[in-house]
């Protein structure tokens, strides 16, 4: 029995009595039968991400292990006219990884190796399935870390960080993912392999690396990423400031930046989320405060001490009722554990949540937050606010129980009003979650038709047939992928 026959037998053993679809057969021959899944459970699992958006239906699911295998998948997809959707850990919150039109789902979770750590150039080459926090843990004994630290960093992948240009609490000082990606190896839908960027100080040509970071899988699939390594600071001080109003906390943030400081992190949580976190983690948060500000400064010991003292002064001038510094690494870690597990803590209140991601000018934080609370009241919803206050990246959590009749409609209506309020205040649609399917219909609030047409032309230069993550980012009427996302696809064993 030849290799192909063994592959087909293995595929059929998981789908007894089913005919082998030609697309599935070609994919299985290119990889191996155990890494091409067509069963309902595998497809259902990868038809969703962490967002509240439905409508995804996966086609065959592939688990490549090498760049050559990703190339093979792309070549098979091109031969069959099939779409492809890259997939990491599925922690996205804007529907960016939802497969539309039964595409091939390319799950890169088996491509999870740190290939090289180059301390001389302060660069590491990693595969896209490497988990964010695992990379930092591997770097820690060497005195370095990977600066972007999304709250989902325990599970999210570097490939997903690149796709969404993710941020995190410590990106206030260090910048989001784009600032920490030196080069990306990419397989485009034709099957060609490109190297975007490079290790040179000033790579020649257009910055296609910058175009790829944040493109949400619409330009191709990253197979290797060269990331910058950030040296661990010699000293760190973490402060917890308590306030009797959210506005006072927001004004303190503006005051700190206006004073000339750029701390490593400035995070605000309101009372509802603080209480939930404290019940969940027991981090020592005050549950009677209307809001808390988690501020972190780092650098040389003398400068850190001065900055921490000045932050306390600015906080008290803006009504801080308490200023407390973490006294040990353990206490500091616990405070951050509370912040980074905040979204899981809300399960004590309701089982579901819709997390937003708009950005507003720091000077408008207090004003927009008042509107967010009013919007939630209008739609009879619970809202909890936890956000990257330093750069104005809001994360209102609309907390609900999806089993309640009509609640999802109210949640989406409230979400739309929050987005509109943020843009009207001079803000933008997303700070780190991306556009996906969530914010497509609001793109015209920020971009003209000409803007979006040129974005579409860029997309088509990488993907002329619009087969890479179709139906995402650009709104209907501006995207070459509109029809592709809903096209008639072969049914076979996976239709």
What would the pLDDT profile of 270-325 be if each residue is shown by its tens digit?
A: 999 999 999 999 999 999 999 999 999 999 999 999 999 999 999 999 999 999 99
pLDDT > 60? residue 495? no
Q: Is residue 375 part of a domain?
A: yes
202 and 130 together in one domain: yes
143 and 196 together in one domain: yes
Range of the domain at 360: 350-433
133 and 145 together in one domain: yes
Q: What is the CATH number of the domain that holds 281?
A: 3.30.70.2190
* Of 201, 231, 261, the domain-final residue: 231
Q: Is residue 456 part of a domain?
A: no
How many structural domains is the chain composed of?
Answer: 4
302 and 383 together in one domain: no
343 and 417 together in one domain: no
Q: Alpha-carbon torsion 132, 133, 135, 136, what sign? A: positive
Computed over every residue of the chain, the mean pLDDT equals 92
Cβ neighbours around 473 below 10 Å, total: 26
pTM, two decimal places: 0.91
pLDDT > 50? residue 6? no
* Of 309, 329, 348, the domain-final residue: 348
241 and 282 together in one domain: yes
Q: What is the CATH number of the domain that holds 172?
A: 3.30.465.10
Q: What average pLDDT does range 412-434 have in this prediction? A: 95
Q: What average pLDDT does range 425-446 have in this prediction? A: 94
354 and 410 together in one domain: yes
120 and 211 together in one domain: yes
Q: Is residue 479 part of a domain?
A: no
DSSP-derived secondary structure for 44-97:
HHTT--SSS--------EE---SHHHHHHHHHHHHHHT--EEEESSS--SSSTT
Among the listed residues 347, 353, 429, 439, the one whose alpha carbon sits nearest the alpha carbon of residue 398: 353
Helices (H), 175-216: 208-212
At a CB cut-off of 8 Å and minimum separation 6, what does 141 contact?
A: none
Name the residue with higher pLDDT: 468 or 493.
468
pLDDT band at 4 (very low <50, low <70, confident <90, very high): very low
218 and 150 together in one domain: yes
pLDDT band at 202 (very low <50, low <70, confident <90, very high): confident
Q: Which helix (H) or strand (E) holds 485?
A: helix 482-485
Q: Is residue 491 part of a domain?
A: no
Q: What is the pLDDT of residue 12?
A: 53
Least confident window among 59-68, 104-113, 199-208: 199-208
Percent share of the chain, pLDDT over 90: 87
Q: What is the pLDDT of residue 443?
A: 95
Q: How far apart are CA 161 and CA 131, in angstroms?
A: 10
Q: How far apart are CA 198 and CA 159, in angstroms?
A: 17
Q: How far apart are CA 384 and CA 376, in angstroms?
A: 10
Q: What is the pLDDT of residue 49?
A: 92
pLDDT band at 382 (very low <50, low <70, confident <90, very high): very high
DSSP-derived secondary structure for 309-349:
HHHHHHHHHTTEEEEEE--SHHHHHHHHHHHHTHHHHGGGT
Q: Is residue 451 part of a domain?
A: no
pLDDT > 60? residue 482? no
- Is-contact 70 87, C-beta < 8 A? no
Q: What is the pLDDT of residue 344?
A: 87
Q: Is residue 439 part of a domain?
A: no
Q: Is residue 97 part of a domain?
A: yes
Q: Which helix (H) or strand (E) holds 193?
A: strand 193-197
246 and 343 together in one domain: yes
pLDDT band at 486 (very low <50, low <70, confident <90, very high): very low
Q: What is the CATH number of the domain that holds 406?
A: 3.30.70.2740
143 and 87 together in one domain: no
pLDDT > 60? residue 487? no
321 and 243 together in one domain: yes
Percent share of the chain, pLDDT over 70: 93
pLDDT band at 479 (very low <50, low <70, confident <90, very high): low
Q: Which helix (H) or strand (E) holds 37?
A: strand 36-37
pLDDT band at 207 (very low <50, low <70, confident <90, very high): very high
Q: Is residue 265 part of a domain?
A: yes
Q: What average pLDDT does range 443-472 have in this prediction? A: 95
- Is-contact 50 150, C-beta < 8 A? no
User: Tokens representing 253?
Assistant: 């943030």
Q: How far apart are CA 274 and CA 397, in angstroms?
A: 13
What confidence tens digit (pLDDT) does each residue in 229-264 have? 999 999 999 999 999 999 999 999 999 999 999 999
pLDDT > 50? residue 2? no
Q: What average pLDDT does range 20-44 have in this prediction? A: 94
pLDDT > 50? residue 391? yes
Q: What is the CATH number of the domain that holds 42?
A: 3.30.43.10
* Of 199, 231, 263, the domain-final residue: 231
């Amino acid at each position: 029995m030849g290799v192909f026959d063994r592959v087909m037998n293995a595929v059929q053993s998981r789908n007894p009595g089913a005919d082998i679809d030609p697309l599935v057969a070609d994919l299985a021959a290119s990889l191996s039968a155990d890494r091409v899944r067509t069963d309902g459970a595998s497809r259902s699992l990868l038809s969703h991400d962490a967002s509240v958006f439905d409508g995804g239906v996966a086609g065959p699911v592939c688990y490549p292990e090498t760049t050559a295998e990703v190339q093979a998948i792309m070549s098979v997809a091109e031969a069959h006219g099939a779409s492809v959707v890259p997939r990491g850990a599925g922690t996205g919150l804007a529907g960016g990884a939802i497969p539309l039109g039964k595409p091939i789902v390319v799950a890169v979770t088996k491509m999870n190796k740190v290939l090289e750590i180059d301390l001389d150039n302060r660069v590491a080459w990693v595969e896209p399935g490497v988990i964010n926090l695992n990379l930092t843990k591997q770097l820690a004994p060497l005195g370095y870390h990977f600066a972007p630290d999304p709250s989902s960093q325990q599970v999210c992948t570097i490939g997903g960080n690149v796709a969404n240009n993710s941020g995190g609490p410590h990106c206030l000082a260090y910048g989001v993912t784009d600032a920490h990606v030196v080069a990306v190896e990419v397989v485009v839908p034709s099957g060609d392999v490109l190297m975007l960027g490079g290790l040179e100080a000033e790579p020649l040509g257009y910055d296609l690396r910058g175009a790829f970071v944040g493109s949400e899988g619409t330009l191709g699939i990253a197979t290797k990423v060269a990331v910058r390594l950030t040296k661990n600071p010699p000293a760190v001080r973490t402060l917890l400031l308590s306030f009797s109003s959210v506005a006072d906390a927001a004004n303190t943030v503006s005051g700190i930046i206006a004073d000339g400081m750029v701390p490593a992190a400035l995070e605000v949580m309101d009372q509802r989320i603080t209480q939930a976190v404290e019940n969940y983690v027991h981090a020592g948060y005050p549950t009677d405060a209307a809001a808390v500000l988690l501020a972190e400064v780092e650098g040389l010991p003398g400068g850190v001490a001065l900055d921490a003292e000045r932050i306390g002064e600015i906080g008290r001038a803006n009504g801080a009722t308490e200023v407390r510094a973490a006294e040990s690494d353990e206490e500091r870690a616990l405070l951050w554990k509370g912040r980074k597990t905040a979204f899981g803590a809300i399960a004590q209140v309701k089982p579901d949540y819709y997390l937003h991601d708009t950005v507003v000018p720091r000077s408008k934080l207090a004003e927009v937050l008042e509107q967010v609370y009013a919007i939630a009241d209008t739609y009879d919803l619970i809202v909890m606010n936890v956000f990257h206050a330093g750069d104005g990246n809001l994360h209102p959590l609309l907390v609900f129980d999806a089993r309640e009749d009509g609640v999802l409609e109210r949640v989406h209506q409230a979400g739309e009003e929050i987005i509109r309020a943020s843009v009207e205040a001079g803000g933008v649609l997303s700070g780190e979650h991306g556009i996906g399917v969530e914010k497509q219909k609001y793109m015209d609030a920020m971009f003209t038709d000409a803007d979006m047409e040129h974005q579409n032309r860029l997309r088509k230069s990488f993907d002329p047939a619009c087969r890479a993550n179709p139906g995402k980012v650009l709104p209907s009427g501006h995207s070459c992928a509109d029809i592709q996302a809903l096209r008639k696809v072969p049914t076979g064993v996976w239709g």
